[in-house]
Amino acid sequence: MLRWIFLMLLSLAQPALAADDLLRAANDTASPINQRRAYGNACGPASLLNAFQYGDKKWQQAFHAVPGHNSRTRIRSVVVTWGNRPSKHIMGVNRWNSKQGINLLDLTDMANEMLGPHSLPKIKYEILTRKPGGNQNKLLQRSHDRISSSLKKGLPPILSIRRYAYRYSKEVGGKSWWPIRAHFIVVIEVPKKIPLNAISYPFKYVDPFGGFTRTGTINTDTASFTDSPFLSATMPGALIGKSFVKAGEETILTYSAIIGRW
């Protein structure tokens, strides 16, 4: 735990980068879509809207085509038109529902259907884990490459951030790391380059839970979650899954997947 606290303090102490060293979303003055104006589990639909409106003019077409004039009406339009269609990946359910929200694959399908009428290229997803023979440093570089490539193509990428908790389970007969809650955000700023030996990098993102713009860091160090296949994320102010954490439990945020263009 002390190691994790030290990591958080170290990331917060990183020097600010000059404007010329940053890669920013094309429309970084947009107003965040707030999922709480519509549904508590609408981070996926809200993040699609945020990604499109923070993008360049060609991606903004998909945003402006969604009926509505505010967060509530636009999110509900996305849910009714694309979210209520049957999932191609989980039989017998719709893509989005008010209890579970939406998964990575269904969100990608929704995005591409929204883009279709505008002759925009398809976007894709990637689960970001260590490759065979790889290490956390190579994973950090790959994670940055995916984000920066999508930003360069005019589309701020959507990240899947998941909270894990170290808790007891009857199934394994002891304590282990369990996924608690996942959340989608949109990255609107990262450094243009990171050193080959980097152990972290800062990022700015749009959090649809409340419609905030926040900052954080992506890290190679996963503290006591030593066998984690993912990178960790330090995100002060983010509430991801905190209400599902039991008293005294150790938790960690991970950067586990991305949707975008590369």
- Is residue 243 a contact partner of residue 163, using CB atoms and an 8 Å limit? no
Using the predicted structure, report yes or no on whether residue 3 has a pLDDT greater than 80. Answer: no
Domain boundaries, the chain: 2-260
SS3 content of the chain, % helix, strand, coil (to 5): 30, 25, 40
Average pLDDT of span 104-131: 97
Q: What is the pLDDT of residue 107?
A: 98
**Rounded Cα gap, residues 75 and 44, in angstroms:** 10
Residue with tokens 């905190």: 242
Q: In the structure encoding, which two tokens stand for residue 74, read together?
A: 């636009």
Q: What is the pLDDT of residue 132?
A: 86
Q: Which of 9-13, 115-119, 141-145, 198-202 has the lowest mean pLDDT?
A: 9-13
Q: What is the pLDDT of residue 16?
A: 65
- Rounded to a whole number of angstroms, the CA Rg of the chain reads 18
Using the predicted structure, report yes or no on whether residue 6 has a pLDDT greater than 60. Answer: no
pLDDT grade for 108, boundaries at 50, 70 and 90 = very high
Using the predicted structure, report yes or no on whether residue 247 has a pLDDT greater than 60. Answer: yes
User: How high is the mean pLDDT of the chain?
Assistant: 93
Using the predicted structure, report yes or no on whether residue 143 has a pLDDT greater than 60. Answer: yes
**Rounded Cα gap, residues 122 and 100, in angstroms:** 25
Q: What is the pLDDT of residue 149?
A: 98
- Other CB atoms within a 10 A radius of the CB of residue 247 amount to 4
Q: What is the pTM of this model?
A: 0.91
Buried b (16+ CB within 10 A) or exposed e, 151-171: bebbbbbbbbbbbbbebeeee
**Rounded Cα gap, residues 4 and 1, in angstroms:** 5
- Is residue 220 a contact partner of residue 226, using CB atoms and an 8 Å limit? no
> How far is CA 128 from each of CA 148, 168, 173, 174, 230, rounded to the nearest angstrom?
15, 26, 29, 27, 7
Torsion of CA 161, 140, 148, 104, to 10 degrees: -30
Bridge partners (DSSP) listed for residue 187: 205
Name residues whose C-beta falls within 8 Å of residue 5's C-beta, 6 or more positions apart in sequence: none
pLDDT digits (tens, 9 = 90+) for 14-55: 556 777 799 999 999 999 999 999 999 999 999 999 999 999
**Rounded Cα gap, residues 116 and 248, in angstroms:** 47
Using the predicted structure, report yes or no on whether residue 66 has a pLDDT greater than 50. Answer: yes
Q: What is the pLDDT of residue 15?
A: 59
CA quadruple 40, 33, 89, 232: dihedral positive or negative?
A: negative
Q: What is the pLDDT of residue 18?
A: 73
Reported residue count of the chain is: 262
Q: What is the pLDDT of residue 82?
A: 98
- Is residue 144 a contact partner of residue 189, using CB atoms and an 8 Å limit? no
80, amino acid identity: V
Average pLDDT of span 208-223: 97
pLDDT grade for 2, boundaries at 50, 70 and 90 = very low
Using the predicted structure, report yes or no on whether residue 7 has a pLDDT greater than 70. Answer: no
pLDDT grade for 227, boundaries at 50, 70 and 90 = confident
pLDDT grade for 134, boundaries at 50, 70 and 90 = confident
